[in-house]
Amino acid sequence: CEHFDYELSVATTAIPREYAETKVSGGEGEKFNFTVNDFLQNNVILEVYFRDMYAEQVFQVPEYNFWNLLADIGGMLGLFLGASIFTIIDFIRYSLDFGWRKIRSFRCYIRDRS
């Protein structure tokens, strides 16, 4: 998205009579059938000037990309839940140890029964 903003100023002046006479006598007056007074009343010379040759460019850069967002979510989870990678690994290890002990005790129970 680009936006250019220029300061406006308006200045007016009358068309010089000598300029109108040269335009009318140069063949344009006869071709379009107008006089010097018609030219002065019905024509405008428009010249546009820029006050400053200065342009300001504004860039929009995304503040967050995917990885920054993921890091922020992980940081918030760590703060609010007290969870980190080490605690998650310890939880998985504890669950596996617990499951292994249950399987061993169930095997011993079946072996003793038979």
C-alpha dihedral sign at 99, 105, 107, 109: negative
To the nearest whole number, what is the mean pLDDT of the chain?
80
Question: Is residue 83 very low, low, confident or very high in pLDDT (cuts 50, 70, 90)?
Answer: low
Which class for 29: exposed (0-12), middle (13-18), buried (19 or more C-beta within 10 A)?
Answer: middle
pTM of the model: 0.35
Question: pLDDT for 34-57, tens place per residue?
Answer: 888 888 888 888 877 777 777 677
CB 24 within 8 A of CB 34: yes
Question: Is residue 110 very low, low, confident or very high in pLDDT (cuts 50, 70, 90)?
Answer: confident
